Structure 1
Amino acid sequence: MSRIGKRPISVPAKVAVTIDGQSVTVKGPKGELSRVLPGEVTVAQEGDTLLVTRRDESRVARQRHGLCRTLVSNMVEGVSQGFQRRLEIQGVGYRAQVQGRNLILNVGYSKPVEIEPPDGIQVAVEGNVNVVVSGIDKEVVGNTAARIRAVRPPEPYKGKGIRYSGEFVRRKAGKAGKK
């Protein structure tokens, strides 16, 4: 049995969960998320915990058991606490700023790159070089952070570019100089 899938999900007091067949809706202080789960798994609420079980022992059901438990758990955590990803910009003259809702990146191109975050995602800039992407949906927060990083991924020679906070960039040696 899936070790992740059989763990119960604890629901905080300020979060309300509604289960309608395969549709799960979670409401909390930060917002509301809903998702339709595949037919191979079922979600049941017992008091202040949620249990995700599979209908049978088929291969597809076993594959989706842990995934669906993690998705529901992320929904509960998102509406109660939220998620955030931090990015760092490294390079001479590289900087970021927020203009309205949009993020403006100056990262070595001839023109600034403007990124419009999706609905429900907030982007903040700390000290011109630290970007914080936050929201209630973990998947959308991660995808938005990945889109920002893809504008100028860190390069291996000087380490310039946009990287996740705490990301290790393996450096390469440059050309050997003339003697």
Structure 2
Amino acid sequence: MSRVGKYPVPVPAGVTVAIANRVLTAKGKLGELKLPLHDEVEASVENNAVVVKPRTESKRARAMWGTTRSLVAGMVKGVSAGYAKALEINGTGFRAAVQGKDLVLNLGFSHEVRYSVPPGIKITCEKPTSIRIEGIDKRLVGQVAAEIRALRPPEPYKGKGIKYEDETILRKEGKKK
């Protein structure tokens, strides 16, 4: 039995959830998200909450039960409050700026790196060394943050590179004479 799936997902005020043709749609003040339901689960809206149940007792159905419930909870939170990730840039001369629909990064290479921002994502740079990624889709926000971090991951000797704001870098000791 799923420990996650058995709890209903509460729907906050200002968010509407509808199910039509095996597609769950969540609308809120920030936008709209859709989730095609898996064949092994069924969902219903009861008492201002979304209830997810498995159709059969197979192992696959029980696995998809918890997964679907988690995805629905992420959608409801995304359309009501949204998601954000913050990145920090460490290194001499390393900086970031938003130009139009591109994020322009100077990361110590011989050229500047341009990252085109996907639709549904908002990127801001309050300081040249900080990047804030916001959006309503949890998966997309995390994916964009991971792609930007992968352009210059932090190295363990000086800590130079792009890291998450709450990430700690395990530092190594340098060469000894």
User: TM-score when scaled to structure 2?
Assistant: 0.97
Q: Determine helix, strand or coil for the equivalent of 1:29.
A: coil
- Cross-structure match for 1:8: 8
2:99 aligned with 1:99: yes
CA contact (8 A) 1:101 1:123 kept: no
Q: Determine helix, strand or coil for the equivalent of 1:148.
A: helix
2:39 aligned with 1:39: yes
Q: Determine helix, strand or coil for the equivalent of 1:126.
A: coil
Q: Which runs of 5+ in 1 are unaligned?
A: none
- Looking at structure 1, the residues matched to 54 and 117 of structure 2 have their Cα atoms a distance apart, in angstroms, of 36
Report the AA paired with residue 43 of structure 1: A
- Cross-structure match for 2:151: 151
- Looking at structure 2, the residues matched to 91 and 149 of structure 1 have their Cα atoms a distance apart, in angstroms, of 14
Structure 1 position 22, deviation (Å): 2.0
- Cross-structure match for 2:48: 48
- Cross-structure match for 1:83: 83
Report the AA paired with residue 2 of structure 1: S
Structure 1 position 102, deviation (Å): 1.1
Q: How does 1:55-74 map onto structure 2 within 5 Å?
A: 55-74=55-74
User: TM-score when scaled to structure 1?
Assistant: 0.96
Residues 78-111 of structure 1 deviation map (CA, whole Å, 9 limit, x = unaligned): 1111000000001111110010121111011111
Q: Which runs of 5+ in 2 are unaligned?
A: none
- Looking at structure 2, the residues matched to 171 and 5 of structure 1 have their Cα atoms a distance apart, in angstroms, of 40
Structure 1 position 21, deviation (Å): 3.8
- Looking at structure 1, the residues matched to 67 and 86 of structure 2 have their Cα atoms a distance apart, in angstroms, of 25
- Cross-structure match for 2:142: 142
Across the aligned residues of Structure 1 and Structure 2, the Cα RMSD in angstroms comes to 0.8
Report the AA paired with residue 111 of structure 2: K
CA contact (8 A) 1:101 1:122 kept: no
CA contact (8 A) 1:41 1:55 kept: yes
Structure 1 position 35, deviation (Å): 1.2
Structure 1 position 2, deviation (Å): 0.9
Report the AA paired with residue 129 of structure 1: T
Percent identity over the alignment is 49
Structure 1 position 53, deviation (Å): 0.8
Structure 1 position 56, deviation (Å): 1.3
